[in-house]
Chains A and B, each alone.
Chain A
Amino acid sequence: MLFEKVYLDTYEPILGYATRRCDSPEDAADVVAETFEIAWRKLDDLPPGEQARLWLYGVARNVLANHRRGTIRRHVHQAALREDVADLYARTAPSEERMEFAAIARVFRHLSDEDRELLSLVAWEGLDAGQIARVLGCSRNAVRIRLHRARKRFSRGLADAGVEHMPMSRAARVPLGRSI
């Protein structure tokens, strides 16, 4: 059945999406469960193939936004899911190596939600402007412009914090018509 295939194909990226954005395993499990429950209810909106993942990111993003507003449903009965996710958090607890990222993390946290989400979709989910446009439901051009501005703000923050970096990735420069 279609749904099962989509679920198996997209569970890992959606779990990754939620885990990277939620502070607690319980929240991440709720976001994953709610996202797929919505997908099941909206089965005929679910696009086929690769588009399904992008569509589900969009759903997960809304679920997460609701979650931040405190309106998510708790999926306490999903005990096995919660255990799986908790294991993931335990396994990837901040290590010494991660400490070097503390300054970057601080700068990142000070960005707006929108800037953070755009930058994350590129850096964490590996999406390009066209794919992000599908997730956010806007035009590719709008994504490019917003991404460019988000990168600038992030760069400025990093510079202020004394973090050495290149202003933006090659991938972002080319579509904006700049040379490397």
Chain B
Amino acid sequence: MRNTDELLSGLARVRDRELAGRASTAGARTLLASITSAPVSASPGRGEVLAAATGTEGAVIAPARRGQAPALPAATGTETAAAPASRRPWRIRLAAGAAAAGLLTAGVVAGPGLLGGGSAAGYANSAVDIARDGDQYVARIKDPFAEYRMYTEAFRAVGLDIDLRPVPVSPTAVGKILGMVIADHSPPGTGPKVEAGPSGPLVDGVALTMETLPKNCRPGRDAGCVMVLRIPVGFPGDVLVRLGREARPGEEYANFEAATAPGEMLAGVKLRKGRPVDDVLAQVRGRNLTAVFSLVKVDGKTGGLSFEPLPARTVGGDWTVWNAWQVKAGVVRLLVTPERLPENPFFNGSAPPPALS
């Protein structure tokens, strides 16, 4: 006679062991690729809250969790809102400007005599040169759009987990560094001490920075422009650097938050105080764009935002648009509520980061 578990297991459409190898099917691979090419953004309700920054060039540095996170300077324009303390590993996001500020010229090569145990002196291939400079590795990225494995192999060779990823963007952002996400995955309490430094976070006192040389040039676009990353030797976490590349036809933009920035599809459209849907749609039509809609939902407890796609026909002309994203060439997404809210939920300090990119 069989017990209930055995009876139930016979009801299963499929068992896990029959799925061996499914992770490498075309479907699984495509899904992974499409997910990881999307922007990492704070999601509603997770407790992580980044303050609203203005424009894509603004520095965004924010701790993943209050209570765990490194203290970062108010000068970055970032602040944390109430979030539950937790023992999660810390995580920092920063836009290019923050990392680039106040850096010395890179490129000093350390001799082997200075090397610590187990670390390589450096590594070079056609895409990147990595050399040790004291407590840091200095990576000079010569070809930002080289094959992905070129960087991976170079950083691996010196024991670092650095992911340099081209992501599809609108034409104005091609060649721009959209930002860096630094994550430490060491078990709670064992990771390095992280604090704010003048030019980027200090990991156990050693700076982790990124800049372009010459300053503010666009890698892969401007001749002679080199991206320079400085990573503390033995850094235990991983760093994701996102670099804008031209989107293919129909491909969705990773710099979706930039819709109203100069040069973008809705440049100059002011939504800070919210605007009626009809008003914004007039702009959209005038610019030969298509609009899609999402309903903004504000969590009563946490103030976190979530978004639900809405068919255009269900959206009233008198609804309020609080923000706009650019989906892909010619398409913008308007973030709306049926009622007018007392304040713009994207600008009250508890919204997800609008300017990660």
B11–A11 touching, CB < 8 Å:
no
Check A168 for interface membership: any CB of B closer than 8 A. Answer: yes
In the bound complex, residues from chain A placing their C-beta under 8 Å from that of B11 are 101, 104-105, 108, 123
Shortest distance in angstroms between B186's beta carbon and chain A's nearest beta carbon? 10
Contact check, B22 vs A40: say whether CB atoms are below 8 A apart: no
A42 in contact (CB, < 8 A): yes
Interface size on B, residues (CB 8 A): 54
User: A169 touching B5 by the CB < 8 A rule?
Assistant: yes
B163 and chain A: residue at smallest CB distance: A1
Question: Which residues of A lie under 8 Å from residue B19 when comparing CB positions?
Answer: 12-13, 15-16, 88
Given A37-B35, A108-B11, A124-B8, also A165-B1 (CB < 8 A): yes
Known contacts: A2-B183, A15-B22, A84-B28. The answer to whether A122 contacts B41 by CB under 8 A is no
In the complex, whether A130 has a CB less than 8 A from a CB of chain B is no
If A1-B161, A108-B8, A163-B7 touch, whether A41 touches B23 (CB-CB below 8 Å) is no
B13-32 Cβ-contact flags toward A at 8 Å (1 or 0):
11110111011011111111
Nearest-CB distance from A107 to chain B (Å)?
9
Interface status of A92 (Cβ within 8 A of chain B): yes
Residue of B nearest to A100 (CB): B10
CA distance A142 to B69 in the complex (A): 33
B289 close to chain A: CB less than 8 A:
no
| Minimum CB–CB distance for A33 against chain B, Å | 6
B238 touches A1 (CB 8 A): yes
B36 to chain A, nearest CB (A): 6
Q: Is B34's beta carbon under 8 Å from chain A?
A: yes
A169 touches B3 (CB 8 A): yes
B53 to chain A, nearest CB (A): 19
Interface size class of A (residues with CB under 8 A): 35 or more
> Which of B5, B15, B27, B38 has a CB less than 8 Å from the CB of A40?
B38
CB neighbours (8 Å) of A82 from chain B are 27
Residue B2 is within 8 A (CB to CB) of chain A in the complex:
yes
B27: chain A residues within 8 A (beta carbon): 29, 78, 80-85
Determine which of A11, A15, A105, A158 lies in contact with B4 in the assembled complex, contact meaning CB atoms within 8 Å: A158
Q: Give the shortest distance, in Å, between A145 (CB) and chain B (any CB).
A: 17
Complex: how many Å from CA A73 to CA B295? Answer: 13
User: Which chain A positions have C-beta within 8 A of B32?
Assistant: 4, 7-8, 11, 36
Known A-B contacts A71-B308, A108-B8, A119-B4; the reply to A89 vs B13 at CB < 8 A is: yes
**Chain A: CB-nearest residue to B252:** A77
Contact of B91 among A36, A44, A88 (CB under 8 A): A44
A166 contacts B by Cβ under 8 Å:
yes
Q: Say yes or no: A164 contacts B38, CB within 8 Å.
A: no
**Given contact pairs A4-B32, A38-B43, A84 touches B8 in the complex (Cβ within 8 A):** no
Task: Compute how far the CA of A174 lies from the CA of B70 in the bound complex, rounded to whole angstroms.
Answer: 46
| Inter-subunit contact B35/A123 (CB<8 Å) | no
Q: Say yes or no: is A48 at the interface (Cβ < 8 Å to chain B).
A: yes
- Contact among A73, A101, A165 for B3, CB-based, below 8 A: A165
Q: Could you write out 23 A-B pairs with CB less than 8 Å apart?
A: A3-B36, A12-B19, A16-B16, A19-B13, A29-B27, A37-B38, A40-B36, A41-B41, A44-B65, A44-B88, A73-B309, A78-B27, A78-B31, A80-B26, A82-B27, A85-B27, A101-B11, A104-B7, A119-B4, A123-B11, A158-B4, A169-B3, A170-B3
For the complex of A and B, list the 8 residue pairs with the smallest distance between their C-beta atoms, beginning with the closest.
A84-B27, A81-B27, A123-B8, A11-B23, A80-B27, A41-B43, A166-B3, A44-B91
Please give the residue numbers on chain A whose beta carbons come within 8 Å of chain B beta carbons, in ascending order: 1-4, 7-8, 11-13, 15-16, 19-20, 29, 32-33, 36-38, 40-45, 48, 71, 73, 77-78, 80-85, 88-89, 92, 98, 100-101, 104-105, 108, 119-120, 122-126, 151, 154-155, 158, 163-171
Q: Which residues of B contact A (CB under 8 A)?
A: 1-16, 18-20, 22-23, 25-32, 34-36, 38, 40-43, 46, 48, 64-65, 88-91, 161, 163, 183, 185, 187, 238, 240, 308-309
List 9 other contacts, CB 8 Å, given A151-B4, A158-B7, A165-B2: A1-B163, A7-B32, A83-B27, A92-B18, A122-B5, A126-B16, A154-B8, A166-B4, A169-B6
